[in-house]
């Protein structure tokens, strides 16, 4: 393999590095509290190795209290009885507070996760927009009426909040993902117990502070810090929880579905992806190349929507691979606190090893690394970084082509016909998103219809809007977030049938 000069950004010795950790506590029934047994866990920055957060570590006692608080707050109507107008007013206030605190939230997001600071800021800005959108839904949500059931009957379909929602989130976009769930749950009138990932608890705690500041009644949102077991597991099995909204790995999603089956809770799942971009010979190649590079390196590839496999027509495969490699060398990898950095650190040493395992197994099976294939050393930073990696000669049966690598590793697969491309896109367990690059509208439309994926992009990648629903087919999930569908997840449907007049004929004569 040729040795490439990469665009690496050395350590900044930034004054933004903390000298004291952020102290994170549970929010239960409106009070900030430590765990009864005093247990804590710590999070060090994956890029700099500094202590960022010391968090209370919940056990069963705190989880039980949080669920009980959410249950009581739901059942006594302190939030579900509030009008849509007043709920919206509060959600808008939270959005304003998020904007006011953007820098502080973004810094903690970067320090805990390792993502570039500019991207963290954009994420927090996007999250505020979701709170505003949910506020609009709180005011406009409604059921249906049926006025054609006959002269003596009126039917009304009510939408009611489902109750207590358990919200469990991952580490890759902690603030954005909680904002894809919580404001929608609140708009619906639900109460919630929220558990952020143990790797990124801080920004969810700040969100809790903002909710208190905005005047949300105590107990409506409870935050419990800790691990999947026991906290997450209890949140999915407890009889007092009505639904679970989970974003994370497919393996944990399946375990949660099995847990929820015991009490028949509703479960909404946003899981993994192995998302293809298909490039036809008539595509605007330069735009496609930029989107491929963005798709695979954004958030260091630790992204459910990562465009981790490209399916390229064989006539242009060599040219596309060469251009992707060239552009990869220009992407700034390095210190997440530098404003020019586009790719930061990998979340943990274990995850770095997992990424490398996929690359190594692909190479052992006959693939070639056109660039990358190993760890990156960044001057002055002790944390783990993985180099931009493009694997050619990948076949669709290799684990790197079928499973979620969750790193900056692109697999290049070739196709000859549209039929073959569609088969490669669909012949996989995942179905989160897919993209097509072609100047022919018929090719794009046929692709959009036949791709088995919750989102299809044509001549673009990873655009997203609060208005547009997001979720996966097959093992990428169940249910949808965003758009009005995102609100529906938190609503029960109740049918009310009302007789007009004494017209009912008696059953017993």
Site string for ligand NAD, 24-63 (x = CB under 6 A): ----------------------------------------
Residue 155 or residue 228: which is nearer to ligand NAD going by CB? 228
Instruction: Quickly count: other Cβ atoms within 10 Å of residue 80's Cβ.
Output: 18
Residue 207 or residue 252: which is nearer to ligand NAD going by CB? 252
Whether omega for the bond prior to residue 230 falls within 30 degrees of 0, making it cis, is yes
Note whether 350 binds ligand NAD by CB under 6 A: no
Note whether 168 binds ligand NAD by CB under 6 A: yes
The whole-angstrom separation of Cα 228 and Cα 234 is: 9
Note whether 341 binds ligand NAD by CB under 6 A: no
Note whether 299 binds ligand NAD by CB under 6 A: no
* Least distance CB 462 / ligand NAD (angstroms): 12
Instruction: Quickly count: other Cβ atoms within 10 Å of residue 504's Cβ.
Output: 9
* Least distance CB 196 / ligand NAD (angstroms): 6
Of positions 270, 475, 488, 489, contacts ligand NAD by CB under 6 A: 270
Question: Crossing angle, helix 102-113 and helix 117-140, to 10 degrees?
Answer: 120
Phi and psi, residue 209, nearest 5°: -60, -40
Of positions 172, 179, 389, 392, contacts ligand NAD by CB under 6 A: 172
* Least distance CB 441 / ligand NAD (angstroms): 29
Question: Is 304 among the catalytic positions?
Answer: yes
* Least distance CB 373 / ligand NAD (angstroms): 22
The whole-angstrom separation of Cα 23 and Cα 14 is: 21
The residue behind tokens 């087919």 is 473
Site string for ligand NAD, 434-473 (x = CB under 6 A): --------------------------------------x-
Of positions 94, 304, 376, 451, contacts ligand NAD by CB under 6 A: 304
Phi and psi, residue 222, nearest 5°: -120, 140
Structure tokens at 420: 């073959």
Note whether 272 binds ligand NAD by CB under 6 A: yes
* Least distance CB 231 / ligand NAD (angstroms): 7
Question: Which is catalytic among the residues 260, 303, 304, 444?
Answer: 304
Phi and psi, residue 202, nearest 5°: -65, -45
Residue 25 bridge partners (DSSP): none
Residue 118 or residue 257: which is nearer to ligand NAD going by CB? 257
Burial class (CB in 10 A: 0-12, 13-18, 19+), 155: middle
The residue behind tokens 């249950």 is 71
Of residues 218 through 247, those in contact with ligand NAD by CB under 6 A are 227-229, 232-233, 236, 247
Question: Which is catalytic among the residues 109, 112, 270, 302?
Answer: 270
* Least distance CB 45 / ligand NAD (angstroms): 17
Of positions 46, 183, 201, 248, contacts ligand NAD by CB under 6 A: 248
Query: CB–CB of 141/187 below 8 Å?
Result: yes
Query: Can you list the alpha helix ranges (DSSP code H) found in 42-116?
Result: 60-75, 84-100, 102-113
Residue 281 or residue 469: which is nearer to ligand NAD going by CB? 469
From the centroid of its chain, how far is CA 274?
A: 14
Percent of the chain as helix, strand, coil, to the nearest 5? 40, 25, 40
Total residues binding ligand NAD (CB under 6 A): 32
Instruction: Quickly count: other Cβ atoms within 10 Å of residue 407's Cβ.
Output: 26
Question: Is 270 among the catalytic positions?
Answer: yes
Note whether 271 binds ligand NAD by CB under 6 A: yes
Instruction: Quickly count: other Cβ atoms within 10 Å of residue 141's Cβ.
Output: 17
The total number of residues written for the chain in this structure? 509
Structure tokens at 13: 């010795």
* Least distance CB 193 / ligand NAD (angstroms): 12
Q: Give contact residues for ligand NAD (rule: CB under 6 A).
A: 168-173, 177, 195, 197-198, 227-229, 232-233, 236, 247-249, 252, 255-256, 270-273, 304, 404, 406, 432, 472, 477
Write out the catalytic residue numbers.
Answer: 270, 304
């Amino acid at each position: 393999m040729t040795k490439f000069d990469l665009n690496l950004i050395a350590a900044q010795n930034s004054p933004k590095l903390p000298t004291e950790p952020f102290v994170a506590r549970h929010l239960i029934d409106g009070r900030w509290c430590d765990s009864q047994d005093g247990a804590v866990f710590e999070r060090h920055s994956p890029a700099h190795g500094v202590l960022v957060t010391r968090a209370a570590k919940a056990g069963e006692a705190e989880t039980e209290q949080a669920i009980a608080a959410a249950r009581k707050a739901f059942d006594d109507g302190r939030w579900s009885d509030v009008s849509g107008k007043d709920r919206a007013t509060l959600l808008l206030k939270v959005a304003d507070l998020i904007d006011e605190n953007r820098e502080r939230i973004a810094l903690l997001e970067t320090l805990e996760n390792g993502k570039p600071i500019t991207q963290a800021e954009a994420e927090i800005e996007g999250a505020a927009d979701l709170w505003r959108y949910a506020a609009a839904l709180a005011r406009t949500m409604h059921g249906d009426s049926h006025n054609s059931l006959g002269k003596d009957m009126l039917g009304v379909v009510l939408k009611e909040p489902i109750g207590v929602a358990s919200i469990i989130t991952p580490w890759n976009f902690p603030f954005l993902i909680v904002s894809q769930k919580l404001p929608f749950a609140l708009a619906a009138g639900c109460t919630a117990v929220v558990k952020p990932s143990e790797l990124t608890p801080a920004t969810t705690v700040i969100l809790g502070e903002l909710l208190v500041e905005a005047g949300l009644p105590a107990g409506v949102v409870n935050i419990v810090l800790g691990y999947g077991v026991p906290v997450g597991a209890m949140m999915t099995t407890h009889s007092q929880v009505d639904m679970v909204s989970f974003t994370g790995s497919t393996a944990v999603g399946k375990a949660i579905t099995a847990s929820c089956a015991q009490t028949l809770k509703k479960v909404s799942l946003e899981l993994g992806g192995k998302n293809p971009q298909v490039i036809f010979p008539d595509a605007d190649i330069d735009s496609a190349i930029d989107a491929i590079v963005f798709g695979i390196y954004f958030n260091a590839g630790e992204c459910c929507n990562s465009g981790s496999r490209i399916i390229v027509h064989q006539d242009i495969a060599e040219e596309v691979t060469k251009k992707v490699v060239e552009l990869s060398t220009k992407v700034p990898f390095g210190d997440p606190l530098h404003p020019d950095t586009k790719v930061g650190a990998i979340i943990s040493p274990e995850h770095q090893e997992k990424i490398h395992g996929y690359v190594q197994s692909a190479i052992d099976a006959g693939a070639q690394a056109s660039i990358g294939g190993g760890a990156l050393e960044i001057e002055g930073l002790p944390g783990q970084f993985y180099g931009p990696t493009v694997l050619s000669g990948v076949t669709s049966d290799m684990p790197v082509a079928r499973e979620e690598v969750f790193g900056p590793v692109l697999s290049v697969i070739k196709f000859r016909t549209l039929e073959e491309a569609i088969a490669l896109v669909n012949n996989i367990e995942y179905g989160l998103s897919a993209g097509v690059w072609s100047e022919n509208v018929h090719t794009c439309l046929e692709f959009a219809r036949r791709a088995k994926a919750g989102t299809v992009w044509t001549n673009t990648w990873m655009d997203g809007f609060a208005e547009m629903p997001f979720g996966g087919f097959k093992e990428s999930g169940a249910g949808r977030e965003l758009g009005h569908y995102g609100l529906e997840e938190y609503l029960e449907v109740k049918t009310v049938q009302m007789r007009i007049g004494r017209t009912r004929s008696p059953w017993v004569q």
